[in-house]
Amino acid sequence: MLLNIKNLHVAINGKEIIRGLNLGVNKGEIHAIMGPNGTGKSTLAAAITGREGYEVTAGEIWYKDRNIVGMSAEERANEGIFLSFQYPVEIPGVSMTNFMRTAINAQREHRGLASIPAGEFLKMMEEKKKLVEIHDKLTNRSVNEGFSGGEKKKNEIFQMAMLEPTLAILDETDSGLDIDALKVVAKGVNQLKTDDNAFIVITHYQRLLDLIVPDFVHVLFDGRIIKSGGKNLALELEEKGYEWIKQEHLV
């Protein structure tokens, strides 16, 4: 199993948000995580990616057969975990090109490889830009600075394409996207999908899951996964909302 989360408890400033969560993800799978606002979806993403301030108070996160609780964010990234941010951060003064090259070289160093030759890097940039239909001008600018909402999300997928993660978490990548941008993002994800990687797609809406078809759908409520199913569960949620599951759970 690529990712195996066991009885995870996560607290922020002493307040417990994730309260006994279990989740297993194998290579080659796409998992969707849905659920009402404020139930811990983004907290789960932060805990897996190693964000400071998200304290794992109990439980384990096994990734590639190692418990990664306590591992730094950068080491997790270099081990192949990627987060597409719900709100990508603007970093004025740091060009996309330099940012990506620094990241790629960090990853290569972690794997005992030499820095990427300039020509190879530029070729790679060109290839991956096409994948997400990102404009040349965007990569010449500072990271996310002045990007539209859609451009920022495309830029996340572009970075994912560059870093080729084993486990990618897309945190509400569909929010703020129009239907055309959504299609571009979904196309990018589908092209990157292989039998050797896995995706966790956090979303509120079925429309993304029409384009990125999940193998499993989980409903997160009150810090726990309270229902899991196939892709049809998402359709059912779209139709009936979350109330019936909450009721079922409380009973």
- Least distance from another protein to the Cβ atom of residue 117, Å: 12
Interaction of residue 237 with another protein, rule CB under 8 A: no
Q: Which stretch binds another protein (CB under 8 A): 76-84, 131-139, 182-190, 199-207?
A: 76-84
Rounded distance, CA 217 to CA 199, Å? 12
Ranges within 160-199 binding another protein (CB under 8 A): 163
Neighbours of 57 (CB within 10 A): 12
Tokens of 128: 């991956």
* Among 10-18, 58-66, 106-114, 190-198, the segment contacting another protein (CB under 8 A): 106-114
Tell me which residues in 36-65 interact with another protein (CB under 8 A). Answer: 49-52
Cβ neighbours, 10 Å, residue 124: 17
Determine, following the binding rule CB under 8 A, whether residue 73 of this chain makes contact with another protein.
yes
Q: How far is the CB of 51 from another protein (least distance, A)?
A: 5
Please tell me whether residue 91 binds another protein under the rule CB under 8 A. yes
Separation between Cα atoms, residue 84 and residue 169, nearest integer Å: 6
| Dist CA 106 CA 155 (whole Å) | 19
Closer to another protein by Cβ: residue 118 or 179: 118
Asked if residue 109 binds another protein (CB under 8 A), the reply is yes
Binding to another protein (CB under 8 A) within 126-155 occurs at 142
Structure tokens at 197: 């990687």
Q: CA 246 → CA 178, 199, 221, distances in Å?
A: 30, 26, 8
Q: Which is nearer to another protein, 114 or 179 (by Cβ)?
A: 114
Output the DSSP codes for 194-247.
-TT-EEEEE-S-HHHHHHS--SEEEEEETTEEEEEE-HHHHHHHHHH-SHHHHH
Of 14, 70, 93, 112, which one interacts with another protein (CB under 8 A)? 93
> Which of 189, 194, 162 lies closest to 26 in space, CA to CA?
194
* Least spacing, CB of residue 115 vs another protein, in Å: 7
Residue 114, interface with another protein (CB under 8 A)? Answer: no
> Binding of another protein at residue 89 (CB under 8 A)?
yes
CA separation, residue 59 to residues 15, 68, 182 (Å): 16, 11, 35
Q: Which residues bind another protein (CB under 8 A)?
A: 49-52, 72-74, 77-78, 82-83, 85, 88-89, 91-94, 98-99, 101-103, 105-107, 109-110, 115, 118, 142, 159, 163
